[in-house]
Amino acid sequence: MTKINPALKQILTVNNLTKKFGSLTAVDKLSFSIEKGNVYGVLGPNGSGKSTTLGVVLNVVNKTSGNFFWFDGSTSTHNALKKVGAIIERPNFYPYMTAQQNLKLVCKIKEVSENKINEKLDLVGLLDRKDSAFRTYSLGMKQRLAIASALLNDPEILILDEPTNGLDPQGIHQIREIIKKIAHQGTTILLASHLLDEVEKVCSHVIILRKGKKLYSGRVDAMMKTHGFFELKTSQQNELLQVLKNNTSIGEVKTENGLTTAFLTEDLNADTFNKFLFENGIILSHLVKRKESLEEQFLDLTNKN
């Protein structure tokens, strides 16, 4: 793996960013950083401040207070944004023009060479439809063309706001696979989403927002790094609960419809646990070890805040 110069590692730094619309605080003292080579998800329900945050760092929404800077901070935002690709609105191309013609126009506006058009169309799976008019494209194809357009300047970071919104399952899958492919090629990605499934499948890092405030920022796998839980069934329900109560590896215990869920406070494999219960006279008819999902962690986090 290529070593990254630490001085060049930071792509975006946000410090105490606040944006108010009258009495409404859309973004509230938000701080986070984006590092090169990762896929970041800004996760939160509608109204959590995701799109506003992206709008501010892309210079289309004015901040109220706080600050942000791109790369090492020595480049103006205007010049830094030349190294950024972004889609924060619905794809907007000329309907009567072909995909290739539309991208040639984008190249003129961005003042970049046209020699990457076919490469980017191929990347998003539209090379065979490059001579088709934009109006003949499905919604998913339009979104993929927008991604190709955002990549024409070979940006260091690609920013996507709700990239799969409104798409059917096939379209969602195609966009997610393209995002993974772009990330694999070394482009840093920052995407806003309200879909936990999207972040869990695509992102390496997550920033969770609620009502403009940051609840969590860090690696997705670190957030999900709990010791998991056991699902248990036995005809000796009362005896089981007593044995679990006396085991220091077990924390919270829940029972519902005959299924007991025992949350772990430390690592414990199923074989060892089953043996322990057997030695204490408990015979199980069901034992499954599971990990908490991002959704469970997210709900726990938002309920606490």
Q: How would DSSP label each residue in 159-205?
A: EEESTTTT--HHHHHHHHHHHHHHHHTT-EEEEEES-HHHHHHH-SE
Q: Decide: 260 and 162 in contact? Cβ < 8 Å.
A: no
Reported residue count of the chain is: 305
Residue 124, pLDDT > 60, answer yes
Is residue 39 a contact partner of residue 201, using CB atoms and an 8 Å limit? no
294, 225, 232: which is closest to 266 by C-alpha?
A: 225
pLDDT of 224: 59
Tens digits of residue pLDDT in 235-272 = 999 999 999 998 988 988 989 888 999 988 888 889 99
pTM of the model: 0.77
- Cβ neighbours around 28 below 10 Å, total: 19
Half-sphere exposure of 86 (CA within 13 A, CB side): 17
Confidence of residue 190 (pLDDT cuts 50, 70, 90): very high
Per-residue pLDDT of 101-122, as tens digits, reads: 999 999 999 999 999 999 999 9
Cross-strand pairs, 259: 256
Percent of the chain with pLDDT over 90: 70
Is residue 179 a contact partner of residue 106, using CB atoms and an 8 Å limit? Answer: no
pLDDT of residue 244: 93
pLDDT above 80 for 25: yes
How big is the chain by its Cα radius of gyration, in Å?
A: 24
pLDDT for residue 305? 59
Per-residue model confidence as pLDDT tens digits over 31-67: 999 999 999 999 988 889 999 999 999 999 999 999 9
pLDDT value for 293: 65
* pLDDT at position 168: 93
Greater model confidence, 259 or 303:
259
| Residue-averaged pLDDT of the chain | 90
pLDDT digits (tens, 9 = 90+) for 138-179: 999 999 999 999 999 999 999 999 999 999 999 999 999 999
Q: How confident is the model at residue 3, as a pLDDT?
A: 37
Using alpha carbons, list the distances in angstroms from residue 247 to 20, 149, 159, 254, 292.
51, 58, 48, 15, 20
Q: Cα 202 to chain center, whole Å?
A: 6
Give me the pLDDT at residue 196, please.
Answer: 85
181 token code pair: 């492919």
- Determine the Cα–Cα distance for residues 154 and 152; give it in Å rounded to an integer: 5
Mean pLDDT, rounded, for 66-75: 91
